[in-house]
Amino acid sequence: MDIGANELKESDFVRIRWDYFSTHATQRMQILNFFIVLETFFITALLALFQFKIDFKVLRITLSIAIIFFSLIFNMLDKRTRQMIKYSEEALKSIEQKYINKYGKDIMIFTIEEEKTSIERKNREITKPCLSYTQLFKLTFCFFFLIGVIGFCFEIYLIIKSRC
């Protein structure tokens, strides 16, 4: 078979895989940043509405539900983005395995990162856990989710209290 002008080289596949990884890794951080800004806006609005003497029950309940809803939605978005990053990491590790004998293991960043992280997590003390991005992101989503639940419950409490 004659190599045509449109045929891809191995370096093209490496670039495509790296670009895929880079795109989704960047997207994951942008999603988290947007989520934090959005939720902070909602929480600030919710707290401001609790300060007014005017009856904003419906709006406070709506904001509390929005905080909960977006925490769940962004958690699902992060899960999907995390899967796509994992696929690209696996593809890049397969490329590394192809060249590990030729260039050595030390420059195979995806392969050694996985091994070093695994060792580090096993050797950590309970008081100093090595949390992953995923665990930290989940904590962030849970934190905002709980704020939404607290806002919702507090509003329900105020409604019940006003009727007694």
C-alpha separations of 102 from 37, 107, 108, 145 in Å: 46, 11, 11, 49
Q: How many CB atoms lie within 10 A of CB 153?
A: 11
Instruction: Give the span between the Cα atoms of 38 and 28, in whole angstroms.
Output: 15
Cα angle value 64/71/121 (rounded, 5°): 140
Handedness of CA 30, 33, 36, 40 (dihedral sign): negative
Residue 102 Cα to chain centre, angstroms: 36
pTM comes to 0.80
Q: How many residues are present in the chain? A: 164
Q: What is the pLDDT along the chain (164 residues), one digit of tens a residue?
A: 455 567 778 888 889 899 999 999 999 999 999 999 999 999 999 999 989 878 899 999 999 999 999 999 999 999 999 999 999 999 989 888 888 888 888 888 888 888 887 787 777 666 566 778 899 999 999 999 999 999 999 999 988 988 88
